Amino acid sequence: MKILVTGGLGFIGSNFCRYIITKHSNYEIVNIDKIGIGANPANLQDLENEKRYKFIKGDICNSRLVNKIVKRVDTVVNIAAETHVDRSIADPKPFIQNNAIGTFTILEAVRKHNDKVKLVQVSTDEIYGEIKEGSFKENDAPKPSNPYSASKAAADMFVIAYHRTYGLDTFITRCTNNYGPYQIPEKLVPKTIIRASKNLPVPIYGSGKNIRDWIYVQDHCEAIDFVLRKGVSSEIYNISSGNELPNIQIVRKILAMLNKPEDLITFVEDRPGHDIRYSLDSSKIRSKLGWRPKYSFESALEATVNWYVNNEWWWKPLATEKILHPTPWKLRDAQ
């Protein structure tokens, strides 16, 4: 099988490429990435001499390039996306362009040039919006709260429409918060590790009580693989681990693992439209496809902390002013 992975130099994309090459000896990967924010060529430098891996620098909005590549693959796993909510609030346009238009460009390429391709759209739990009790199921309606999640919801709707209208072989996965190696340093887990290791204040939005379900990136990669091999066309699959924790608890666990004091925690002004809680019911992928998360939260988080501590060469070039200095949101005293 030859798989086109979009955004394969990003956090989830690079881990997925490495997972597939390691797991399946008869699979090939073509990775297209424009190397924008969140992408890093160093993420897959270990695959540079792998014959079953090919990298193409390019934008998924470039229809001519995407058309050419789609003709030569069996499967597309669309991971490429603008992902940070903060940046989407500051400037929504790139999110509409890369997430919605980018997905549309891929769908058009498949429709016109290779409609036998299997397309997996890697989406997010954020498209559902917040939920204070219970968990979202796949048939719940999207209710995005910010430009990022709105752009991802729009992409999902195009995928659903192209299956119904043109009969394309499509799948959608919606996953909870990922953590693990190669994640861009501005995200909560790596940012906390990096700042705490340097004895810098660790900023937390609001009171830190916002709840997310945390999944190790390797478990997410395996879930996508299960959908590729066993999924039913047109279906949506929620992916979650059941590790629902407030942000403040995540930060405290990391500080404990680093043997750092909790007085490093600094509360900052909450961002606009900050969802209180995300939660997904992933019973469908578990019962229908047989997927289960393999990694325990504590052991995987500790492995992640150790990876960042031991790989400063990787994150240091990416540690911008936002990482090593106070966040753009106004600092305030803890309530």
> What's the rounded Cα separation, in Å, for the pair 186 and 171?
29
> Annotated active-site positions, please?
125-126, 148
Distance between CA atoms of residues 80 and 59, nearest Å = 9
- State the Cα angle at 11 between 5 and 14, rounded to 5°: 40
Token output for 305: 């902390």
CB-count exposure of residue 93 (10 Å: 0-12, 13-18, 19+): exposed
